[in-house]
């Protein structure tokens, strides 16, 4: 009896440890401690989230190259670079993800809407080209939705010519009954977001060449700079 009791206690302890560990992994997949602690665009929209996740990946291309792929996301647009067939179940528009940059999808403005699937619509709250795209949804633009969500996609330079892409989801909801559904949705979000990050990285790195990088603006000469002196002399 004592052996069985010890085994049962050990099994329950292991299950408890796994239950505590798994969310720590899925909610911070790929993100560093510094990235998780950072203040990001969109945090102000849901300042006290009941649930927040940070997931990230490194991409071997600069932010200026990553941005055009990011700005075209959405159902009926460039897709979500994730499990297209799964998302198609809840979508009336095609969910096939783009395999290249689509020029006609590059014009996005704050206030525009982007559909995840049917009946789940986000508004573009922040658009900082080359740096951040923040999508936001609450009961005002989605009356049947029982939660508020800020969805931030943030690009930061990494090393010589690389990018870190951090995806942060901040959620709040009013009642306990919704919480169980949100924690289930959190698992679903992990699988979809992980695939999104991996697919997007692979697409960009496969398509990227050095010619894709926009040229840097010429440096402005400063006082005392020999180049500036030469220019002045030539002008004289």
| Residues forming beta bridges with residue 98, ordered by sequence position | none
Assigned architecture for domain 45-211: 2-Layer Sandwich (3.30)
Distance CA 99, CA 69 (A): 9
Query: Which one of 56-65, 176-185, 207-216 scores highest in mean pLDDT?
Result: 56-65
For residue 88, the model assigns a pLDDT of 84
Residues in Cβ contact with 83 at an 8 Å cutoff, skipping those fewer than 6 apart:
191, 192, 195
Reported as a single tens digit per residue, the pLDDT across 130-184 is 999 999 998 676 666 678 899 999 999 999 999 999 999 999 887 766 667 777 7
**Per-residue confidence (pLDDT) for residue 7, from 0 to 100:** 39
- Among 63, 88, 228, smallest CA distance to 161 is for 63
Contact between residue 124 and residue 113 where contact means Cβ atoms under 8 Å apart: yes
Q: How many Å apart are CA 61 and CA 211, to the nearest integer?
A: 11
pLDDT tens digits, 84-113: 988 888 777 777 899 999 999 999 999 999
Compute the average pLDDT of residues 31-50. 96
**Is residue 222 over pLDDT 80?**
no
């Amino acid at each position: 009896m004592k052996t069985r009791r010890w085994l049962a206690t050990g099994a329950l302890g292991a299950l408890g440890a796994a239950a505590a560990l798994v969310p720590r992994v899925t909610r911070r997949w790929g993100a560093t401690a510094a990235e998780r602690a950072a203040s990001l665009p969109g945090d102000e929209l849901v300042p006290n989230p009941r649930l927040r996740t940070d997931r990230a990946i490194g991409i071997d291309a600069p932010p200026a190259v990553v941005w055009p792929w990011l700005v075209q996301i959405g159902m009926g647009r460039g897709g979500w670079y994730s499990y297209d067939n799964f998302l198609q179940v809840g979508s009336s528009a095609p969910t096939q993800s783009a395999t290249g940059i689509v020029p006609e999808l590059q014009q996005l403005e704050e206030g525009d809407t982007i559909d995840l699937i049917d009946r789940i619509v986000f508004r573009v709250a922040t658009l900082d080209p080359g740096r951040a795209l923040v999508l936001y949804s609450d009961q005002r633009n989605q009356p049947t939705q029982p939660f508020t969500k800020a969805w931030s996609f943030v690009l930061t330079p990494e090393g010589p010519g690389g990018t870190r892409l951090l995806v942060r989801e901040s959620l709040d909801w009013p009642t306990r009954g919704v919480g169980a559904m949100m924690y289930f949705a959190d698992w679903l979000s992990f699988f979809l977001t992980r695939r999104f990050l991996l697919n997007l990285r692979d697409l960009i790195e496969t398509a990227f060449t050095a010619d894709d990088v926009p040229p840097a603006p010429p440096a402005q000469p400063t006082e005392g700079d020999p180049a500036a002196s030469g220019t002045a002399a030539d002008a004289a």
